[in-house]
Amino acid sequence: MLKIQIIPVLTDNYIYLLHDTVSQQTAAVDPAEAEPVLQTLKQQGWQLDFIFNTHHHTDHIGGNRALQKATGCQIIASQFDSERIAGVTRAVNDGDVLYLGGLCFQVIATPGHTLGHIVYYCAEAACLFCGDTLFMLGCGRLFEGTAAQLWQSLQKIIALPPETKLYCAHEYTLTNACFALSVEPDNPALQQRVLKCQQQRAAQQPTVPATVAEELACNPFLRPNSLAIQQQLQMLGQTEQAVFTQLRYLKDSFI
């Protein structure tokens, strides 16, 4: 069984501690800072075995070396980022498989936000750790890749079973909601989702995770086939990739 501990850090980052209750092995996903992880490990009585990095940005790897020094854990990252992330002990590529105890995690390449971005999917636990590729009601900025690359990466995520829980690396949901409502204001599923997320944040709860099904119903970046969005953008009949590209462009300057 997989136990997932969410650790809020910095302004809006989430670190995830993944613990296999059978083997007692533990992994940290994108540890921006070391101390909160070490504190949580001590509280839970867990030993850190692995770090799973999705990409090389500092707010995802800032705690790597201190955690490795304190615990001797392995650092896993994409082959593309193996020289951009210090201390990597295993470089992985699309389709590679990792094991946390008896739990299998598939590595999926998702270039776009960065060229070396990867995500980690556990079918048995029905969860995906998606870094900055996909956010709740949003998606990552294009720092290194193209809109076409990110659109293709998102296709891999939405092809997963609809009940798959999505764990992204930032609490951006309410900001993303404002943009989503601006391009699809009459979507009732989106309206209900925004109310739910507002209640969660008011109670100081994370809006993460959400399921693939929930995101498909509400996230405009996964809905470029929506006639309402196409009409709002004056792009009726254009390709999904073209609509997605325009959405990403508009979001970059959205206030």
233-255 residue pLDDT tens = 999 999 999 999 999 999 999 96
Q: Which amino acid is at 192?
A: Q
What are the Cα distances from residue 145, in Å, to 39, 110, 115, 219? Answer: 36, 10, 6, 21
Q: What is the pLDDT of residue 155?
A: 97
Number of domains in the chain: 1
Residue 71, pLDDT > 80, answer: yes
Confidence of residue 181 (pLDDT cuts 50, 70, 90): very high
Q: Give residue 16's pLDDT band: very low, low, confident or very high (50, 70, 90).
A: very high
Q: Is 170 a catalytic residue?
A: yes
Model pLDDT, residue 238: 97
The CA-CA-CA angle for residues 138, 141, 144, to 5°, reads: 150
CB atoms closer than 10 angstroms to residue 8: 13
Whether residue 28 is predicted with pLDDT greater than 80 in this model: the reply is: yes
19 is catalytic: no
Find the CATH number of the domain harbouring 182.
Answer: 3.60.15.10
Instruction: Tell me the pLDDT band of 201, cut-offs 50, 70 and 90.
Output: very high
Name the band, by pLDDT with cuts 50, 70 and 90, for residue 142: very high
Which structural domain, as residue segments, surrounds residue 117?
Answer: 2-252
- Catalytic-residue membership of 56: no
Q: Averaged over 53-71, what is the pLDDT?
A: 98
Active site includes 113? yes
From the list 19, 30, 55, 81, the catalytic residue is: 55
Instruction: Tell me if the pTM is above 0.85.
Output: yes
**To the nearest whole number, what is the mean pLDDT of the chain?**
97
